[in-house]
Amino acid sequence: MPPSAHADTRLTYDDLEHFPDDRKRREIIDGELYVTSSPSLRHQVLVGRLYVAIANHLAGRPEIGRVFLSPLDVVLSPHDVVEPDVLFVGSDQLELLTLKNVQGPPVLVVEVLSPGTRKTDEQVKPRLFARVGVREYWLVDPELDLIKVSRRGDDGSFRRVSELTAEDRDTLTSLMLPGFALALTEFFAPEL
């Protein structure tokens, strides 16, 4: 008797599109569903500040690429769909942009940590991003006023290249965004 074929039961982007629109963030990593509630006010303030800083930097340099903020699906494979807080698509990748989503790994992905996403953002996503070819990954920690920058190495893995803090008056820069500089004391300043 021939061996039976097992159906692939992992979720896909098509499955994701059939979930209700209930303001929850849904992502699929290796076919497994990750669901999180709406983010906090501090989270959204930091996402907005970072997006505006990058967008302002790119305003006079459109040849560098384009920046986007969530919600926007990034389809990395049929079984890997994420919704980064902020993402940057380089000018050498503009073919990834469709009217509906981003079809492939952006140059830069940014996640602002929340209690409900911390483990996924710190452990699961770096492995995924290394596997699919994201070049740089920023983890913004609003509890510690800290940004961890990881960059893709020659072997494809992410390596921590810097850990920057507002306390040390550090400035965030990136090889992916030539000329970009963000003072962390301003970035992490209390909102109102």
What is the reported pTM? 0.89
Q: Is residue 2 part of a domain?
A: no
Mean pLDDT, residues 127-142 taken together:
95
Contact 140, 123 (CB under 8 A): no
4: in domain: no
Confidence at 1, pLDDT banded by 50, 70, 90:
very low
In a domain, 19, yes or no: yes
Question: DSSP letters of 108-127?
Answer: EEEEE--TTTHHIIIIIHHH
* Residue 192 included in any domain: no
Q: pLDDT over 70 for what percent of the chain?
A: 96
Position 8 in a domain:
no
Q: Nearest-5° angle of CA 183, CA 184, CA 189?
A: 110
Q: Is residue 6 part of a domain?
A: no
What total number of domains does the chain contain? Answer: 1
Average pLDDT on 114-133 reads 92
Condensed to tens digits (0 to 9), the pLDDT of residues 63-97 reads: 999 999 999 999 999 999 999 999 999 999 999 99
Domain range for 116: 13-187
CATH code: domain of residue 125: 3.90.1570.10
